[in-house]
Amino acid sequence: MKKRLPALVVLAIAVVAVILWLLLRSHDNPNTLELHGNVDVRQISLAFDGSGRIETLKVEEGDHVEKGDLLAVLDTSTLALEARQAQAKVAADRQNVLRMENGTRPEEVRQARDRLAAAEADAARTAADLARLRQVAETTDGRGVSGQELDRAASAAKAATAQAREAREALQLALKGPRAEDVAAARAQLEAGKAALALTRHRIDQGELRAPEAAVVRSRLLQVGDMASPQRPVYELALTDPKWVRVYVNEENLGRVKPGMPAQVTTDSAPDRPIRGTVGYISSVAEFTPKSVETEDLRTALVYEVRVRVEDKAGVLRLGQPVTVTLHLGAAK
């Protein structure tokens, strides 16, 4: 019993010393504030804008991706054929517009003149035939020419005159060229074809899934051959740049924390290697302390969320990792 008494005394002295050291440590630097929290997890559920069957998956879980990296591809062979068809239609519509804008070719005008000359000659001949038969009928009192012959000659002359008039109008149209309304309609049809081609190409582009930001692949939710749609995410990405640490401060210390205030973030695995950070956001609404946050105050105390932006170029911090944040209260920018 006498041997155990000194050991108990030494242990009690050690406990008291540790408690006093902790108390002194909490008051040795009034310009710092120590908070506890976790590295914020910000993730994206990434899905295709279009629908189709997955043809290729480029990355796996845990891979680091940069902004714009190709992650997955849909089967767009049908859309490629539709694009070729739309492109051919655009080419045909463009040639139609050029034909109308260039107007009637000289050869076509010359042909129209020749047709007019032939029609006028035929009209003159039939008119002469009709005049001759009428003269014969007058001189013979109708006995040299029958009424039926006169009717046929009159009809032939009338038809030839109409054909000559039609040929004359055709020549005028050839000289004037296409109507402005027809040219506008052809141009509108060309623009509609271009829009259809652009829409098909856009749907083909939607068959490529690219990373919107630098991130880490947390989960791959679909496999090659699955049907993808905008409602079915393919990957879940965790954003790593910038990294944020979420901590909570009570109302007593709220007024001491300012945006731009420098901070140091440490982990339990490397307490002697702090990482620099800056206070970037202070919530204006109070809330109860989340159960995932360990503080020295009561869990029912109202606290305010503070987010610290961390300069973690070496990638030391892991998403969701518990950390300790030390704020330098007298150094706010």
Specify the pTM: 0.58
Q: Which of 6-20, 26-40, 85-99, 174-188 has the highest mean pLDDT?
A: 85-99
pLDDT at residue 266 in the model? 86
- Rounded Cα distance, 271 and 37, in Å: 15
Name the most confidently modeled range: 84-93, 168-177, 251-260.
Answer: 84-93
Percent of the chain at pLDDT above 90? Answer: 27
What local confidence, expressed as pLDDT, does residue 267 receive? 85
pLDDT in tens, 207-220: 999 999 888 899 99
Q: 206 near 51, Cβ under 8 Å?
A: no
Residue with the bigger pLDDT between 286 and 54: it is: 54
Beta-ladder partners of 215: 65, 239
Q: What is the CA radius of gyration of the chain?
A: 46
What's the rounded mean pLDDT across residues 141-146? 69
Burial class (CB in 10 A: 0-12, 13-18, 19+), 289: middle
**Cα-Cα-Cα-Cα dihedral sign, residues 250, 256, 262, 267:** negative
Position 29 scores a pLDDT of 53
Question: What is the spatial distance between Cα 69 and Cα 53, in angstroms, rounded to a whole number?
Answer: 20
CB atoms within 10 A of CB 16: 10
Question: What are the tens digits of pLDDT across the range 295-319?
Answer: 555 544 577 888 888 887 777 788 7
Between 56 and 40, whose confidence is greater?
56
Domains contained in the chain, CATH given: 31-40+242-331 (2.40.30.170), 44-76+206-238 (2.40.50.100), 81-202 (no CATH)
